[in-house]
Structure 1
Amino acid sequence: MPAPETDRRRAAVLGSPIGHSLSPVLHRAAYAGLGLDGWTYDRFDVDEAALPGFFEKLGPEWAGLSLTMPLKRAVIPLLDEISATASSVDAVNTVVLTEDGRKVGDNTDIPGMVAALREHGVEKVETAAILGAGATASSALAALTRICTGEVAVYVRSRARADEMRAWAERLDADVRVEDWADAAGALRAPLVVATTPAGATDALAASVPEMPATLFDVLYDPWPTALAARWSAYGGAVVGGLDLLLHQAVLQVEQMTGRSPVPLGAMRTAGERALAG
């Protein structure tokens, strides 16, 4: 359980680089909506080498931390406990400091993906496709094990990435077929397509969007929309964006760090959209 509100009033996001992070905007909006006037949420540029030192300085005023790259795996040895969800993908994006001083890690990206899809009406799919095979792809695969009843096709650029995804499939007990990136246009006919690639990587696929696409989940939020998302939407397909993911994983973080629920998703979304527009 998180510590009482009167004792724990600080939280922050750590990573490197970190200046682009929307997390402070979202968490501060949540605190305002919850009436937690004394709570603060900051950002700190911390790399893997500096992480242990940062943890050593955490005092009793700290409620929790959000972690982004490159810290999601580096933090694990510094924790007292991690959840089964985080353990399943060796990635922690949330640390809660408990009343007795323990540091507990979790992964809210995975349930956040599921919640974002559910908000857009996607509860179950028979098959799905993942574009890319990096760290986000493993979390996407873990999320799909909760909603996809059949095979997941993963499109990768190299044999090494293919081997990594096969290993994740075995670990997560997922039904996965690995395909070459050159055939990625074929992925766009799946009931659910999850794009986990960096900005620009899927731009060339926009020309291959079918006339009646189903659902695209593109994890990017800046720049937005991506060329693929814009074409998908123009053809009438449902689009779930990176801001949706960021919001839903942040809601879960706020719940864990503050012990408060429900968290004001609408206020957080408005704050995030304004920040991106600015």
Structure 2
Amino acid sequence: MTTRAPDARRAAVLGSPIAHSLSPVLHRAAYAELGLGDWTYERHEVDEAALPAFLGRLGGDWAGLSLTMPLKRAVIPLLDSVSPTAASVEAVNTVVFTADGRRTGDNTDIPGMVAALRERGVEQVETAAVLGAGATASSALAALSRVCTGAVTAYVRSDRRAAEMREWGERLGVEVRTAPWSEAARALTAPLVVATTPAGTTDALAAAVPERPATLFDVLYDPWPTDLAARWSGYGGAVVSGLDLLVHQAVLQVEQMTGLAPAPLAAMRAAGEHALAAR
């Protein structure tokens, strides 16, 4: 049963750089819908060196924190407990402060990815492809462990990255095969393609989109659409965006921090879309 959250609580997103973050827009929209008029959500520029002191200054009026790079791993030694989901990828993006003062860490990116895919009708696929091998790619593998029944092929730029992705696959229970980035166009025929690379990286692949593409999950949201996503949707393929991921992971954060569920997904997405359109 949902219980009413206490008044006058604080939350924030931390990271560096942080000025671009849409988290305040999403969380504030949720507070407005939930009637939490006394709750505040801010953004703070905090790097790894400053994180311990920042946490040490927080009082009992704090409900939780959202974390972005470079803090997702740095925060782990500073917490009292970490969820199995966060531990599986050694990354915490959500800190909740309990009534007894404990700091608990979780990762809502992974279930957020799964929820975003399910919203687009993707419950299960036999195979998948991942473009890239950075931190987001490991979260993508964790999400695919819940969605993909067969092998995942990761397209990467170096032997070191290939080895890292295979290691993540072993940890997460996913059969990971690797291929060089020069062959990335082959990925686009997979039932599910997850693009985890920085802006501009996949632009050259747009011309290789097949005439009947399946589903693309592109984790970027600004600028949007990417060249790859635009071509993909132009051919009638299903596209899941980085905003979809951002909203779904934020929904889970709001529910954990406030104790109120369900969080207002539609209002949060509308606020995010409005903010992006204004940029």
Tell me which interval the TM-score lies in, with the shorter structure as reference length: over 0.9
Tell whether the 8 Å contact from 2:7 to 2:39 is kept in structure 1 after alignment. no
Please state how far the C-alpha of 1:166 moved relative to its aligned partner. Answer: 1.1
> Matched residues in 2 for 1:111 and 1:178: separation?
24
Q: Trace 1:106-145 onto structure 2 (pairs within 5 A).
A: 106-145=106-145
User: Residue 176 of structure 1 aligns to which amino acid in structure 2?
Assistant: V
Show CA shifts across 1:156-195 (max 9, x none): 0011111110110111111110111000000000000000
**Residue 102 (structure 2) aligns with:** 102
State the number of aligned residues: 277
Conservation of the 8 A alpha-carbon contact between 1:216 and 1:232: yes
Q: Give the distance between the partners of 2:83 and 2:6, measured in 1 at CA.
A: 26
**Cα displacement string for residues 202-256 of structure 1 (whole angstroms, at most 9, x for unaligned residues):** 0000000000000000000000000000000001100000000000000000000
Question: Equivalents in 2 of 1:276, 1:234: separation in Å?
Answer: 21
In the aligned structure 2, how far is the partner of 1:158 from the partner of 1:239? 28
Question: How far is the alpha carbon of 1:6 from its aligned partner?
Answer: 2.6
1:9 is aligned to 2:9: yes
In structure 1, the partner of 2:274 is 274
Q: Which residue of 2 aligns with 1:224?
A: 224
Alignment of 1:236-275 (within 5 A): 236-275=236-275
Query: Counterpart of 1:146 in 2: which secondary structure?
Result: coil
Q: Give the partner amino acid of 2:79.
A: L
Q: Alpha-carbon deviations, 1:54-96, whole Å to 9, x = none?
A: 0000100000000000000000000000000000000000000
Q: Within 1, Cα distance between the matches of 2:166 and 2:175?
A: 10
Q: Under a length normalisation based on structure 1, what TM-score does the superposition of the two structures give?
A: 0.98
Tell me the residue number matched to 1:212. 212
Q: Distance in 2 between matches of 1:103 and 1:143?
A: 25
Alignment of 1:162-173 (within 5 A): 162-173=162-173
Identity %: 77
Sort the Cα spacing of 1:90 and 1:8 in 2 relative to 1 into closer, same or farther, 3 A. Answer: farther
What is the 5 A alignment of 1:44-123? 44-123=44-123
What's the RMSD between the two structures over aligned residues? 1.2
Q: Distance in 2 between matches of 1:21 and 1:50?
A: 19
Aligned residue number for residue 155 of structure 2: 155
For 1:175 and 1:47, the matched residues in 2 are separated by: 35
**TM-score of the two chains, using structure 2 as the length reference:** 0.98
In structure 2, distance between residues paired with 1:171 and 1:25:
35
CA contact (8 A) 2:7 2:36 kept: no
Q: Distance in 2 between matches of 1:89 and 1:119?
A: 24
Contact persistence 1:3–1:97 (CA under 8 A): no
1:271 aligned partner, one-letter code: A
Q: Deviations over 1:16-55 (max 9, x none)?
A: 0000000000000000000000000000000000000000
Judge conservation of contact 1:3–1:99 (CA < 8 Å) in 2: no
Deviation of the 1:3 alpha carbon: 10
Q: Is the 8 A contact 2:217 2:239 kept in 1?
A: yes
Q: Distance in 1 between matches of 2:6 and 2:131?
A: 45
Q: Any conservation in 2 of the 1:116–1:245 contact (CA below 8 Å)?
A: yes
Matched residue SS, 1:150: coil
Aligned partners of 1:197, 1:138: CA distance in 2, in Å?
Answer: 12
Gaps of 5+ in 1: none
**2 CA distance for matches of 1:216 and 1:96?**
32
Does the residue aligned with 1:113 lie in a helix, a strand or coil?
A: helix
Q: Match for residue 37 of structure 1?
A: 37
1:4 is displaced (CA, Å) by 7.1
Structure 1 residues 8, 63: CA separation in 2 closer, same or farther (over 3 Å shift)? farther
